[in-house]
Structure formats: structure tokens, C-alpha cells
Structure 1
Amino acid sequence: MYTQTAPFADHLRVVPATRDVPEVDPNAIVLSGSDGDLTVGELDSWSNRLARLLLQDGAVPGAAIAIAIAAPIERLVAERAVAKIGAVAVLAGGLPARGARRGITTRHARPEADGAIDWLVLDDRTTLRRYLTGSDAPLSADDLPVLGRTA
């Protein structure tokens, strides 16, 4: 289940992490901010794309993933993507981010590099290209790695 985080919790409406809940209107606004509005459908598709990037980069269920993003919309998408792969979002206010080896950030918000966290930088050209060409289809059980499974 998705959990809210401060300081933007007063602007969030919590929705289930999966798309198969018929009572959730995909056009409903989840978050409004100075940069615009984020709908349920946008949150779902954007977080599916980001979840796939995390999986491609080796993230696994149960892993701690640091999030260092100032923009509320991008941070919510990152939190939802982490939840979709069964990992744990750790807000990276202070490093080290409680055992996180991977993280999601932007160039502006990226904490000073200490080598402990492998950052996925959302506004990096290579990341953007991967993100924009990735699938936004709902994740399935086949998309998620099973720990201990051999290929």
C-alpha cells in the first residue's frame, strides 16, 4: 500500500498502486502544484515507466531506494514506482539514506556524491531517452524478479 510523505501530504490523495481498481477515475487529480496537475492515469503510466527503469538497473523487491527530488510531482512518481516493484522508498534528506544502494534524483536535487548510492538522474539525457521510450503498461508478476530464482 502506498503511504504519504511530508511535506506535501496535505496535497496528496492516496490511490491504490495497481490499475485494476475500477472506482479510481484515471482523470482524477492526484496532485496539484505550481508546475501543473498530475492525474491518476499519468501517475500510473509514468510510474510504470520509471519502475521498469529501476528494474533494468538492478533494483529488486525489498531493496531500499533513496529519493532525492524536490519537485512534488516527480517525487510522487518516484515513490509510486518504488512501491510498484516492492522496494522501500527512503527520502534522502541525510546521507547515507538508511542502507540504500540505489536512488532516484535530479541534477539539481542530487546530494553530494559519496559513492554509496548509484543515482538514476531523471533529467539526464540518457535517462530521459530510456524513460520516454519505455513501456507504460502495467507491471505484471513476470516483470518483477523473484529473489533466489535462477535463470
Structure 2
Amino acid sequence: MSTLVETPATNVIQLQPRLRNAAELEQAAVLGNSGKLANVELDRWANRLARVLIARGAAGHARIALAIDPQIEATVATSAVVKLGAIPASVAQDATAAPGARLGITTKERRPELSDAIDWLLLDDRSTLQRYLVSSDAPITAAERLTERKSA
């Protein structure tokens, strides 16, 4: 039995064109296809993606390249990287890689222009989506971050 409760969201804001730092990222919020996402949803999506990154070998303090154009996906990916204690490194439109990054997040559209020196996670790949959808959206624990650092 579903117990869906609909209440007006009070923590929904428009995404800013560019987020300048982690504090702004944490304040970003969105909902649905309208270019908005509630803070709670951003947190859940980022937790799922962080777990996919952990399974892929992401470690704290590592640089993770981000070559993502859709704003919502870029915001979620940046938040996921920050949750791991890793460093998001944006890949500019005219660049092929982010120096020091061995793992990256992108889309099928951007992948052909990017360096093969980075292990790219394709957000819009079917297998990525399947892993993402079955990942827990519970908060990332210190033990998960610590376990990953030890194994990396």
C-alpha cells in the first residue's frame, strides 16, 4: 500500500547557471524536468551515484573528471564526488582530460571527444542506469569512504 503524501516543497530553488563552490552546491535544489530539484532529491541522487563511483574504484582525495553538459546531471555528479571526499575536476569543452584524474563521469555524447587515459563512467549508459537505480540512496557513511580509501 502506498502512503504517498503530497506537501508543498519549501526547499526548492532554481539551479544557478554555474555553482562556484561546495557550499553553493549544497544549497542547490531541483524538482522534475523543470530544471529544479529538491535538496532531499539531490542528496538521494548523489548518494546513489557516489555508491556507483565507489564500486568503480573512486577514492577520497582523488581527482574525478566531470565532462557533463546537462546542469542537473552535472550538479548531482559534483555532489556525489564531494560526498566521497574526492575533488571534482571539470573538463572544459575544448579539453580532452583533467590532469591527475583517472576516473571521470560523462555522457555518450561527450565521450568521443575525451581522452582514453581516463576510465569514463557514462551516465546515460544502460548498465550505469541499472546500477544507479538499484543503489541505496541512504547517506554515504564514513565507513564506506574509509573502506574505499583503504582498497584504492
TM-score scaled to structure 2, two decimals?
A: 0.76
Letter in 2 for 1:55: I
Distance 1:8 1:115, change over 3 A: same
Q: CA RMSD in A?
A: 2.7
Using the aligned pairs only, state the percent identity: 45
TM-score scaled to structure 1, two decimals?
A: 0.76
Q: How far is 1:99 from its partner?
A: 1.1
- Of Structure 1 and Structure 2, which has the larger fraction of its residues in strand? 1
- Taking the TM superposition and a 5 Å limit, the aligned residue runs for 1:1-151 are 7-9=17-19, 14=24, 16=26, 30-31=29-30, 35-93=34-92, 94-145=95-146, 149=150
Q: Using the alignment, how far apart are the partners of 2:149 and 2:36 within structure 1?
A: 40
Task: Give the SS at the match of 1:14.
Answer: helix
Q: How far is 1:8 from its partner?
A: 2.2
Task: Give the SS at the match of 2:50.
Answer: helix
Aligned length: 132
Task: Give the SS at the match of 2:69.
Answer: coil
Q: Structure 2 stretches of 5 or more lacking a match?
A: 1-15
Q: Using the alignment, how far apart are the partners of 1:52 and 1:86 within structure 2?
A: 13
Distance 1:15 1:7, change over 3 A: closer
Render the CA deviation track for 1:8-29: whole Å, top value 9, x for unaligned: 239xx8264xxxxxxx8xxxx7
- Of Structure 1 and Structure 2, which has the larger fraction of its residues in helix? 2
Greater shift after overlay, 129-138 or 111-120? 111-120
